[in-house]
């Protein structure tokens, strides 16, 4: 099925839509007032005007091939879940920014994930459908490899006339076990190939940590190749090391790559796809899905996807080429203080700085705050919303963070100065919510995996459901959402790591981190800031920004933020940090995303025998009934404050009553 925009005069944006399938979702079961849903899957074809002011921030757009109309062409997958009768929904579009091609919103709000939702089981608890949302996905990051239902986008490659563009690229490679070859670029991502299989023009060094001195690897001990079934196969996108990768070590490859994708077009693709769905009018039959049915559009993301949202707004893409709002509001979850490697020549969208890996990735760059700030070391001034204010409507924004983002993703930079000496307020269009004691993602099991401690199992998804409803009210009626809740320097709930370590209880067999993630000031050359092109590879390294962490109580649980009942009435200590185990190398280094779950012992005798300073369960709660009563009180208090919905209070109480003591 094919339909167009319905106007021969439109020369940019979505110009053609091909629907590959349109079928019932969840076997046609109804979702309350919204009724049954359908899923629509296909491709959208777009044209972008390289001379339009709305696109002047896209790096290398001037080097993209143009069609006969002078436009730059691209195409993306799209996937839409919507009420069969759109008038029965809430007339809200929720755009879910895919993470490395993967869909996130159903897992976050409906407690079920997956890239090909089609069954009643895939609908999970049905929250988004019961609320009446139409949920949209499309591609944006052109380095995603096909497979497993991931969302793809076809981006043009920049060329200098008839000549390919080449450039020096830095790739950091690490492995958690002994392997002989690795792609330059981890995850489901497609690296930029080396211009040659000959490695003499490239360099490779290795080090145990970023602060250690590098050891150069001789050219005869590595090659551009992959190790497959005992055979070394030449491959311009893989690194082969003859003696194998040392687990946990950092390998720095600097090589000449070719064929940079115009990655910043991912911003334009999201802008134009959402604008088309939101503002497009009914054209020739068949009628485009949702034409004229959307009153508000919101964007949601997790981790990389949130950094995309942050960067999208920062670059001024929330206004389409006609100056209309793309998104009215954003729920940006666990992005830390960063944006991304999303609008640069030879961009590597998966990379982001973390405590052990990728310190030379430009994911944390000044400015960080929504109100003006200054970096006294570099002399830079600015804020993250200034360009959005100049170009069009600024969306109302919820930033939500967990403890892991303060430890591993520099979240404090969103609301302090770069020296970690003073609080900086929030723009009136933004709110910040800290979910106390939670980790980056929701773990289904406390199994240690690559870590020293059991993994944090706190489920913070109920807070997201409540905040989405609050965001909708704020965007629709102006009703004030819950007051921001996050740790601050002024009240002593945001502290340096040294203070944290002095106050953390001495729990037997638990080692503590020595630091949190402190991103570096990086100098890639003068062209990087203005043109997105690195002249210095790898970058020159300047002083680190100073980042802080939430203060804790005598149990090691954090004081500030949204304290879910599991933290307010604890059976354990929940942290946003966990340390790598000896088995995967870099022992004792902070992991990227996982926190720790450190249960209390049951009795006073057991506590005295173990040496655990934290009161035992029996010392805290004289009876099981007393414990359940305190959990109920904590849940109801959060409900009253707007951080839990009625249905989640009931679910929490039911789960708590069934929990083994």
pLDDT tens sequence across 549-559: 999 999 999 99
Shared domain check, 240 and 367 = no
Q: Mind giving me the DSSP string for 211-223?
A: TSPPEEPPGGGEE
Residue 287 has a pLDDT of 62
β-pairing verdict for 250-258 and 203-207: antiparallel
User: Within this chain, do residues 103 and 247 fall inside the same structural domain, yes or no?
Assistant: no
pLDDT band at 25 (very low <50, low <70, confident <90, very high): very high
* 433 contacts 615 by C-beta, under 8 angstroms: no
pLDDT category of residue 289 using cuts at 50, 70 and 90: confident
Q: What is the pLDDT of residues 465-494, one digit of tens each?
A: 999 999 999 999 999 999 999 999 999 999
| Per-residue pLDDT, 529 | 85
Is 601 in the same domain as 635?
yes
Same domain, 548 and 512: yes
User: Rounded to whole angstroms, how far apart are CA atoms 132 and 82?
Assistant: 8
> What pLDDT sits at residue 1?
58
Say yes or no: 185 and 266 in one domain: no
**Are residue 27 and residue 120 in the same domain, yes or no?**
yes
Domain stops at, among 207, 233, 258: 258
> Per residue in 488-500, pLDDT tens?
999 999 999 999 9
Percent of the chain with pLDDT over 70: 97
Q: Worst-scoring range by mean pLDDT, 9-13, 100-104, 192-196, 575-579?
A: 9-13
Res 653 pLDDT > 50: yes
Residues 265 and 306 in one domain: no
Query: Does 400 share its domain with 530?
Result: yes
pLDDT at 10: 47
Domain end marker among 237, 258, 279: 258
Last residue in a domain, options 294, 312, 342: 294
Report the number of distinct structural domains present in the chain.
Answer: 3
pLDDT in tens, 74-95: 999 999 999 999 999 999 999 9
Q: Above 70 in pLDDT, residue 415? A: yes
Distance, in Å, from the CA atom of 574 to the CA atom of 185, rounded to the nearest integer, reads 32
Range of the domain at 63: 1-157+261-294
Condensed to tens digits (0 to 9), the pLDDT of residues 36-46 reads 999 999 999 99
pLDDT band at 281 (very low <50, low <70, confident <90, very high): low
Q: To the nearest whole number, what is the mean pLDDT of the chain?
A: 95
> Which token pair is 198?
């000959």
Sign, CA dihedral 213-239-593-447, equals negative
- Long-range contacts of the stretch 459-463 (C-beta < 8 A, 24+): 460/402, 460/435, 460/564, 461/108, 461/109, 461/111, 462/564, 462/644, 462/645, 462/648, 462/651, 462/652, 463/400, 463/433, 463/435, 463/562, 463/564, 463/643, 463/644
The predicted structure's pLDDT at residue 423: 98
Comparing 280 with 411, which gets the higher pLDDT? 411
Do 205 and 85 share a structural domain?
A: no
d(CA 354, CA 519): 8
Q: Is the pLDDT of residue 284 over 90?
A: no
Task: Quote the tokens at residue 457.
Answer: 């199992």
Per the DSSP assignment, residues forming a β-bridge with 470 are: none
250 and 316 share a domain?
no
Q: How far is CA 32 from the centre of its chain?
A: 31
Q: Does residue 341 sit in the same domain as residue 467?
A: yes
Distance CA 27, CA 368 (A): 46
Asked if 138 and 236 sit in the same domain, the reply is: no
Q: pTM of the prediction?
A: 0.96
For tokens 């022992």, the residue is 587
* Angle, helix 624-641 to helix 646-657, in steps of 10 degrees: 170
- For the four alpha carbons of 165, 166, 170 and 173, in that order, the dihedral sign comes to positive
Q: 3-class SS at 422?
A: coil
pLDDT band at 6 (very low <50, low <70, confident <90, very high): very low
């Amino acid at each position: 099925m094919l339909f167009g925009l319905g106007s021969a005069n439109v020369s940019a944006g979505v110009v053609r839509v091909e629907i590959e399938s349109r079928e019932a979702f969840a076997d046609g079961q109804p979702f309350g007032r919204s009724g049954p849903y359908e899923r629509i899957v296909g491709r959208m074809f777009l044209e972008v005007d390289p001379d339009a002011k709305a696109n002047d921030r896209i790096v290398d757009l001037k080097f993209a091939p143009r069609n006969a109309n002078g436009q730059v062409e691209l195409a993306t997958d799209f996937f839409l879940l919507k009420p069969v009768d759109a008038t029965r929904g809430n007339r809200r579009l929720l755009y879910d920014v895919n993470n490395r091609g993967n869909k996130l919103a159903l897992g976050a709000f409906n407690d079920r994930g997956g890239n090909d939702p089609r069954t009643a089981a895939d609908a999970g608890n049905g929250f988004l459908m019961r609320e009446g949302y139409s949920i949209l996905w499309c591609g944006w990051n052109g380095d995603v490899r096909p497979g497993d239902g991931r969302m793809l986008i076809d981006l043009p490659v920049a060329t200098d006339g008839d000549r390919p563009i080449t450039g020096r690229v830095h790739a950091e490679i690490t492995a958690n076990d002994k392997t002989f070859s690795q792609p330059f670029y981890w995850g489901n991502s497609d690296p930029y190939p080396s211009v040659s299989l000959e490695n003499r023009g490239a360099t490779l060094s290795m080090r145990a940590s970023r602060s250690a001195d590098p050891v150069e690897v001789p050219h005869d001990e590595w090659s551009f190749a992959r190790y497959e079934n005992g055979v070394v196969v030449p491959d311009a996108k893989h690194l082969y090391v003859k003696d194998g990768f040392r687990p946990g070590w950092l390998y720095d490859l600097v090589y000449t790559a070719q064929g940079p994708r115009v990655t910043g077009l991912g911003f334009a693709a999201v802008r134009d796809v959402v604008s088309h769905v939101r503002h497009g009018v009914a054209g020739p039959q068949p009628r485009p899905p949702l034409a004229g049915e959307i009153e508000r559009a919101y964007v949601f993301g997790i981790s990389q996807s949130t950094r995309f949202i942050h960067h999208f707004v920062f670059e001024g893409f929330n206004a389409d080429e006609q100056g209309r709002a793309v998104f009215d509001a954003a729920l940006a979850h666990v992005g830390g203080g960063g944006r991304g490697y999303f609008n640069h020549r030879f961009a590597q969208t998966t990379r982001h700085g973390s405590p052990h890996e990728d310190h030379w990735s430009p994911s944390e760059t000044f400015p960080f705050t929504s109100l003006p700030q200054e970096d006294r070391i570099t002399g830079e001034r600015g804020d993250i919303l200034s360009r959005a204010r100049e170009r069009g409507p600024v969306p109302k924004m919820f930033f939500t963070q967990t403890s892991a983002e303060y430890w591993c993703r520099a979240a404090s930079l969103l609301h302090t100065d770069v020296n970690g000496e003073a609080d900086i307020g929030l723009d009136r269009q933004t709110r910040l919510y800290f979910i106390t004691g939670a980790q980056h993602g929701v773990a289904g099991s406390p199994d240690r995996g690559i870590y020293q401690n059991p993994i944090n199992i706190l489920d913070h998804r109920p807070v997201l459901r409540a905040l989405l409803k609050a965001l909708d009210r704020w965007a629709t009626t102006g009703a004030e959402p819950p007051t921001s809740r996050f740790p601050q320097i002024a009240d002593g709930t945001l502290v340096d790591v040294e203070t944290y370590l002095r106050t953390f209880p001495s729990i037997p067999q638990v080692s503590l981190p020595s630091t949190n993630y402190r991103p570096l000031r990086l100098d890639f050359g003068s062209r990087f800031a203005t043109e997105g092109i690195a002249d210095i590879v790898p970058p020159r390294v300047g002083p680190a920004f100073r980042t802080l962490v939430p203060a804790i109580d005598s149990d090691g649980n954090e004081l500030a933020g949204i304290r879910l009942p599991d933290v307010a009435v604890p059976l354990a200590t929940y942290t946003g940090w966990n340390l790598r185990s000896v088995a995967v190398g870099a022992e004792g280094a902070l992991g990227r995303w996982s926190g720790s779950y450190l249960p209390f012992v049951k009795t006073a005798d057991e506590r005295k025998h173990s040496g655990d300073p934290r009161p035992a369960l029996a010392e805290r709660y004289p009876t099981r009934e007393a414990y359940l009563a305190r959990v109920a009180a904590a849940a109801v208090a959060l409900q009253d404050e707007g951080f839990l919905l009625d249905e989640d209070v009931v679910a929490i109480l039911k789960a708590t009553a069934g929990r083994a003591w």
